[in-house]
Every structure is written in structure tokens, then in C-alpha cells.
Amino acid sequence: MKTLDEIDRRILTALQRDATPALDRLGEVIGLSRNALWRRIKALEDAGVIRARVALVDPSAVGLNLTVFIMVRTSAHDARWLDRFAKATRAMPEILGAYRMTGELDYLIRARVRDVPDYDRLYQRLIQKVDMSDVSASFVMEELKETTALPL
């Protein structure tokens, strides 16, 4: 892994806020020439520090008004089950994140859907693909904080 210096951190902080400014403008903010900034960004990409540059879409603007956290418990803890579960969650675009957890909960899924009936369709598809012992869901009533920016 690349060791980040203060300039790298400033670049990453700026790009996490907005990855669209021209290199000349961003270089002025960071204190680097256009070429030096480009080389730094390219090195961060090559090292895998910057994984992608994407557009963040407002979920409600595209009708995905409901965030749901799906708690999964399973009695199967073998590699074959995990492979089926991982493939199923990766194939469902509504699922934004799937995590293997410590403690009483085995897996946690974060999904975005239009509404409760849309969640039910997702649930039905998921249980058809993977056997689970217990599945429960909690719906987000209010987002207090949602960010993709990492603290650097």
C-alpha cells in the first residue's frame, strides 16, 4: 500500500468532495502544477487508493425512496453457502452493500428500493437463491448522515 503524504491527503479530500474540477483549478487549490497533480492522481489510481471516479445519484430523484437494512442469520457456515450468498447479493442491483458480521448477526445487507412492496420482491428473489435461517428487515425513517467521503 502506498504511504500517503499530506499532499495526497489533500488531493483525496478534494476529489471525495468533487472529482469534476479541471486539473488546473484543482492544482491551484492543492498547490501543485497541473502535470504534478495529474502524476499524483495517476499514482493514487495505479496503487489502488483511488478505485473509481463516479457520479453520486440522488436516490429519491430516481424513485428509490426507501433504504432497508436486512439482517440475516444462517445455520450454514460453509464456503459453498457463502459463495452462493455472495453471488446472489452481487447480482441484485438493489443491494448496495453486504457484510459478514461478528456477534449474533451473521450478515447485514444494505439495499435501496422504491417502497415496501419493492422490498418484498427483493426479499422473495433473495430467499429463492439462498437458504437462510432467519431474515428480518429495518426500514430507515430518516437519514441523519450519509456520505462516501472517508476521513483522511
Annotate 123-148 with three-state secondary structure.
HHHHHHHCCCCEEEEEECCCCCCCCC
Same domain, 135 and 65: yes
CATH code, domain carrying 38 = 1.10.10.10
Q: Which amino acid is at 146?
A: E
CATH number of the domain where residue 90 is located: 3.30.70.920
The pLDDT-based confidence of 20 (bands split at 50, 70, 90) is very high
Q: Note the pTM of the prediction, 2 decimals.
A: 0.89
Give CA angle at 25 (22, 31), nearest 5°. Answer: 130
User: How far, in whole angstroms, is CA 152 from its chain's centroid?
Assistant: 17
Domain of residue 70 covers: 59-139
Going along the chain, which residue ranges are E strands? 66-73, 95-100, 107-113, 134-139
Residues 92 and 21 in one domain: no
Residue 99 pairs with which residues in a beta bridge?
108
What is the reported pLDDT for 66?
98
Q: What pLDDT is recorded for position 88?
A: 97
Note whether 40 and 63 are same-domain residues: no
In a domain, 11, yes or no: yes
Tell whether 91 is covered by a domain: yes
